[in-house]
Amino acid sequence: ALPSPGEPPVGLYSADLERRHQQRARIHQLLRDATSRGELQLVYQPKVSLRSGRLIGAEALLRWNSAELGPVSPGDFIPLAETSGEILAIGDWVVDEALRQAREWRGRGEVDDDFSIAINVAARQLMTAGFAERVLTRLRYAGLPAHALEVEVTESGLMEDISLARQTLRTLADQGIKIAIDDFGTGYSSLAYLKTLPVNTLKIDRAFIDDMLHSSHDRNLANTVIQLAHSFGCDVVAEGIENPEQARLLASLDCEHAQGYWFSAPLPAERFLAWKARYHAEHYHEPSR
What residue ranges bind ligand C2E (CB under 6 A)? 45, 61-62, 73-75, 78, 94, 120-122, 152, 182-183, 206, 239-242, 260-261, 266
Q: How far is the CB of 2 from ligand C2E (least distance, A)?
A: 44
Nearer to ligand C2E, 166 or 206 (CB): 206
x/- map, 100-139, Mg ion, by CB under 5 A: --------------------x-------------------
Told to check if 150 binds Mg ion by CB under 5 A, we report no
Q: Which is nearer to Mg ion, 152 or 235 (CB)?
A: 152
Q: How far is the CB of 164 from ligand C2E (least distance, A)?
A: 17
**Which range touches Mg ion (CB under 5 A), out of 76-84, 183-191, 258-266, 270-278?**
183-191
Judged by CB under 5 A, does residue 183 bind Mg ion?
Answer: yes
Beta carbon nearer to Mg ion, 39 or 239: 239
Q: Is 155 in the site for Mg ion (CB under 5 A)?
A: no
Residue 152 sits in the site that holds Mg ion (CB under 5 A):
yes
CB of 152 to ligand C2E, least distance (A): 6
Side-chain-side CA neighbours of 270 within 13 Å: the count stands at 1
78 binds, among Mg ion, ligand C2E, none (CB under 5 to 8 A by kind): ligand C2E
Cα 162 to Cα 96, 135, 139, 166, 225: the distances in Å are 26, 20, 25, 6, 21
- CB-based contacts of 169: which residues, under 8 Å, 6+ apart? 126, 132, 151, 153, 179, 197, 198, 199
| Residue closest to 173 by CA, chosen among 226, 135, 230 | 135
Which C-beta is closer to ligand C2E: that of 61 or that of 222?
A: 61
- How far CA 69 is from CA of 23, 30, 82, 118, in Å, comes to 11, 9, 19, 28
Please list the residues that pair with 40 across neighbouring strands: 64
What residues line the site for Mg ion (CB under 5 A)? 120, 152, 182-183, 239
